[in-house]
A and B are shown apart, each in its own frame.
Chain A
């Protein structure tokens, strides 16, 4: 057995050597192959939509599985995906049912080592993507045994999902998912929220191949390994061709994808994603071996000065916000004047120009403009808070006079997680506070997981760094999911203990809940603007710092779009002859 294995390996080695010698040039030259890279800690964690939680996993899932609805990567608008149209019905109990009419011409496909082929059922028919596949995908995402970290996304909107996920019931029929026929599925939501149709299209609600995961008469069950290249099946504009863990991942065009107005058939044949640190990635770009790269911050000045690179460089908005949270119950920061003074004293323009340098935008409020229903600088130029040294000094002075103390008596601590970027920002802001307010703020850093433990708990420091990126492109995902009572950074324990920013404002809570259900976009926008005003100015519960931007560099022969939702739609890209 062992000998056989060795012989086998030797044969493989030999054949590889021979093919390597033989295959110089020749075939495949007319293929359009895009080379790009993921930034970050290395391997793509998973391609299983049920458990994915990070950008790189979701990027590949977006290209290989299409949701019922699709979120336009540039405009963040909801548009048809697998569903061609859908209709909403409000039920008598206040819940709302959306019935999705799906395409019936999309087949499951796989890479067979040579080419993309359609997946056949045990009867030899093509396996088409059906409503049951969607139901199965949602069921897996909510299954406590699968333990999806993102189960809560559906949990907060989909009827019965939270109960199923927590194990209160093991009967999936109690969840608001009804397969009406192969191409019709009805989802029942808890409330008529504006973002229901967005969440219904997210990666947490994508079909998965049940026959492959659990096995059937003609397929061996491969369980959790179904996302590996040797098993993987999908149906979107691309499918997985090769996945060399920690090194590279290649997706290949699915020629059987029918192509829609929103999601066309790809012009590019293959996309090769390397998994490289951003500095290495940029070096590969400069060496000409990858076509689109992220940009390391320390290279930005050089790129801007370079006549060639500067033309290939582009800053696009990214839907994330960077902010400093205040512990609204801690000494000194429990007074709104101190919080407002600290926030007013931050010269955000100077910070993004001189410290972060990556084209970030000074944030006047929390929700990133560009999200559905979020205010924009154009619509609300004076909303929120911005640098005003005199106002800051006046606020602090009023507080100091009240308490009969001096600035030297105000003992403040700023906590951030250990990272050179956060360090630079914290030091710059520390200096601004010193210059404007004559306050000496102590800086403390902690390792990330320790930092999270500290800031999430009841003993959060007076000031701490935080950030938020979108799950779905709606203002609700920012202002309410993060700061409403019980939100991500304002959590409340079962016994009533406040965590995070520890901020209580019932008006704010009522406002954001009402805004979620408001159907008139103009009124919704006004409501969120009012909520932002409460959050960042009236109560100054947090200090928004900047809105993120993407720093991308792309070879001139690439035609591309710039996704603001955290992922790209490569099926819309093209490579010109070069």
Chain B
């Protein structure tokens, strides 16, 4: 297993490199640049800006420098400085030597921040919201799916699946403002926008306050974001469970004289979880790295908008950073899913 994980992590490096090449190529291929403005900047200014950010270098050199800055650990005796272009994600001090790794560069748009600053300040908030939503989605989706499957074609099933269809078909962009209107503006029970925790974070990503001050901000976005995902999980659980209960070994279990609850929990549910676990991987990566619409509607300072605005701004380092971040999360999430398979199904073995 250990060797398998190491091999997968090495594969991940390759995947991330390939993703970085494609992203780099695409973002330079689309027309317009980071300094396109409605108020056109003078050519001289653009030349100066390009020079500063080394955008006047040939593309292969720019990419080479990027790979060097991001992927290759730097070993140096100079301590970290306050410079935006010298901001590494990982800085380890051993005696007089610094090992520094992953410099994603400065943002062209937010000129006071580096991409690592954005990761440090915004990613934890997206991750908190994403994890809460994922937990909510599982807590709602799984029981709903099981209930619907067990009471197939009864009113409970229709009710459960009705909720699920509602969850899928009413997007956050509709549900969000409705929630805000009811609970934020009309009833004033919950804050309209914002997030209850700000940098610096505990261990880099955990909120420093868990009380009502935190929860009250989290409730609406978590529900708005989690409901859609819970619907997906519910439908998948239902379909998968319905298929599993028709398996011969469920009949075997029944013929053993097991209680129905034992048959479902011991024999059916665990076997039907595999497809659910499979989608939890990409769902995790998507939710945790930030969701544009939800964060916009609830005014949450997360990562989500950078996936969109970095592209409209042609903010190259932020584009690269966000895409690579997503790629890493996706690959890691899928690795976790694969490891989970091995626990769920003894037929799957890695070596």
Contacts and interface: CB of A to CB of B under 8 A. Distances in A.
Interface of A: 6, 9-10, 12-13, 16-17, 20, 41-43, 45-48, 51, 53, 144-149, 151-152, 155, 162, 165-167, 221-225, 227-228, 244-248, 274-277, 279-280, 283-284, 286-289, 447-450, 452-454, 456, 466-469, 471, 488-489, 491
A152 B33 CA distance: 19
Contact of A149 (B41, B188, B314): B41
Given A16-B209, A222-B82, A277-B296, A151 B48 contact: yes
Nearest to A213: B82
A39 to B, nearest CB: 12
Nearest to B107: A45
Contact of A449 (B181, B198, B298, B312): B312
Interface of B: 30-33, 35-42, 44-45, 47-49, 51-53, 81-84, 109-113, 117-118, 121-122, 177, 180-181, 184-185, 188, 191-195, 198-200, 202-203, 208-209, 211, 213, 296-299, 301-302, 305, 309, 312-314
Contacts of B301: 42-43, 244-247, 275
Contacts of B209: 13, 16-17, 20
B48 A42 contact: no
B193 A276 contact: yes
Q: Give the most central of B40, B84, B191, B195: most A CB within 10 Å.
A: B40
Given A224-B112, A248-B194, A449-B313, 14 more contacts: A17-B209, A42-B305, A43-B110, A46-B110, A46-B112, A144-B51, A165-B48, A222-B82, A224-B111, A276-B193, A279-B297, A449-B31, A453-B32, A456-B36
A283 B181 contact: yes
Q: Give the most central of B48, B177, B180, B301: most A CB within 10 Å.
A: B48
A151 B45 contact: yes
A151 B51 CA distance: 15
Contact of B84 (A224, A246, A283, A289): A224
B193 A283 contact: yes
Contacts of B53: 147
Nearest to B111: A46
B226 to A, nearest CB: 20
Given A13-B202, A147-B52, A152 B185 contact: no
20 contacts: A13-B208, A13-B209, A20-B211, A43-B113, A51-B111, A151-B45, A166-B44, A167-B48, A228-B112, A245-B117, A247-B195, A274-B193, A275-B299, A277-B296, A280-B180, A284-B192, A447-B312, A449-B32, A449-B313, A468-B38
Nearest to A491: B40
A245 B119 CA distance: 11
Given A17-B211, A41-B309, A149 B122 contact: no
Contacts of B302: 246
A155 B31 CA distance: 28
Contact of B32 (A248, A275, A452, A488): A452
Q: Interface on chain A toward B: helix, strand, loop, or mixed SS?
A: mixed
Contacts of B112: 45-48, 224-225, 227-228
Q: Interface on chain B toward A: helix, strand, loop, or mixed SS?
A: loop
Nearest to B112: A46
A450 B185 contact: no
Nearest to A50: B111
B79 to A, nearest CB: 12
Contacts of A469: 39
A246 B32 contact: no
Contacts of B45: 147-149, 151-152, 165
B309 A147 contact: no
B192 A283 contact: yes
Contact of B44 (A6, A152, A244, A471): A152
A467 B122 CA distance: 33
Contacts of A47: 112
A449 B314 CA distance: 8
Contacts of A152: 41-42, 44-45
User: Which 7 A/B pairs are nearest by Cβ-Cβ distance?
Assistant: A449-B32, A246-B301, A247-B301, A147-B52, A452-B36, A46-B112, A453-B31
B195 A468 contact: no
A149 B299 contact: no
Nearest to A486: B42
B202 A147 contact: no
Contacts of B81: 223
Given A45-B112, A287-B185, A12 B35 contact: no
A244 B199 contact: yes
A9 B177 CA distance: 35
Contact of B213 (A10, A20, A283): A20
A225 B180 contact: no
B68 to A, nearest CB: 21
Contact of B208 (A12, A162, A286): A12
